[in-house]
Amino acid sequence: MNAVSRAGRTSVCIRGRLHWPLAEGSPRSVRHTQSHRSASFASRASGNLDTTTLLGTGAFAVAAMSALAPANPLRLPILPALQPVVQHALRVLPLQCEEATVKASSAAGSSMQPPVVDKIPEDTFRPGNGSTTRLYQFESCPFCRKVRGCLDYHRIPYEIVEVHPLNKAEVKDFSPDYKKVPIIRIETTDGQQMQLRDSKTIVNALLGSNNPGVAPAVPPPTATPSTGKMWPPTKEPEKATSGTVEEQWVHWTDAVLVQCIVLNVYRTFGESAETFRYLLTHPNFSWIQARSAAWSGTAVMWAVANRRKKTYEVPDVRVALYEAVGSFAAAVRTGGGRFLGGDKPGAVDFNVYGILRSAEACQTERDLLASCADIHPWYDAMNEVVGPSKAVNLDAVKRG
């Protein structure tokens, strides 16, 4: 399931069907019909302002609406001249921290565009070889947290490069053809460079031949009462039964667990704001850059989560998350080891761990750990073997 495309379709729906109440309180649909003045304003703004400033204006409008109606800010009327700006923010904002099919490039690459690979040379991370690793990420992205957990497990020092979700300036010079994260970029002491894309590819490359898969007794994933519209995946139902049990569980993490996390961390407007709060104190972004991303992201992802809740017909998103986590914990117990991989964690373990860690310091994490005692043995074991973060600039990010 491609959550990015879902987010994109959701934002289109939002733009095409925003309901602005009339003076009497009866709703009216706005379908891309703006006054001449509004269109003129949007045209001039787009021509005279850079993207971040333009979106910052839209973010201020969204924030003002939010302050007036925190329960449903997108139903408030705003100045007609600002409607195109807010709609532009809604159009470009959905965060692309999702996966796409990535093929390794056989091209040599250039100094600005390192070749894309799906395997890492054996001695790259040998202690003392002086290679440098940078992880380009969104802090709250579950796909990025999969990679961080695996880097920490292997005790690989790395630098976190937070990508601005609106302009993505940090990756344009070496990855202009790929608009998503995570990406890791490696430079060796002999001048070789490479980049890896897609979290599953990166996790598999880091584990290499040391990936234990899943324990022999582990059963395949199944749907729970609240996740029946997620699993099997609607578009690719064969993923629920084809391939190895490990491959089925990897597909399950994206089709079910990622969706449950998205539904929960953006469940309410307040929780959505909590998820994006780290941007407000990030040292790499200016005041306007931080707030344009945080405020617009809060509004858009809250709307996306509410749309997905209806699509998946989930009555209670917390219950759906607890059921999904409980089914994974039961599979670990059936497997008979500390991890789904048995005595040591495998690719599925790192996928699940990263997804859950993306809710770090948020209400979703607090509620999950308080309500799901069954996950504690596995979660505590993962915390133990992953260990402390090896990010050299971890203090730059403040969560929650």
**DSSP characters for 227-293?**
-TTTSS-SS-GGGGTSS-HHHHHHHHIIIIIHHHHHHHHTSSHHHHHHHHGGGGG-TTS-HHHHHHH
Q: Is the peptide bond before 232 cis (omega within 30 degrees of 0)?
A: yes
Q: Which residue has the higher pLDDT, 224 or 124?
A: 224
Give the CA dihedral 338, 341, 345, 347, nearest 10 degrees.
Answer: -150
- pLDDT reading at 285 higher than 90: no
Q: What is the pTM of this model?
A: 0.77
Average pLDDT, the chain: 79
Other beta carbons within 10 Å of 391: 18
- CA-based angle 325:326:328, to the nearest 5? 65
Which residues sit opposite 185 in a β-bridge?
A: 134, 195
- Band of the pLDDT at 278, cuts 50, 70, 90? confident
Segment 21-67, tens digit of pLDDT: 223 333 333 334 334 434 443 344 334 444 444 444 444 444 444 44
- Band of the pLDDT at 14, cuts 50, 70, 90? very low
Q: Are the C-beta atoms of 388 and 338 separated by less than 8 Å? A: no
Segment 173-203, tens digit of pLDDT: 999 999 899 999 999 888 889 999 999 999 9
**Residue 300 in 3-state DSSP?**
helix
Distance CA 188, CA 131 (A): 4
pLDDT over 90, % of the chain: 58
Other beta carbons within 10 Å of 12: 13
| Residue 396 pLDDT | 73
Size (the chain), residues: 400
Range among 119-123, 210-214, 395-399 with highest mean pLDDT value: 210-214
The amino acid occupying position 6 is R
Long-range CB contacts for residues 379-383, cutoff 8 Å, separation at least 24: 379/353, 381/338, 381/339, 382/149, 382/339, 382/345, 382/349, 382/353
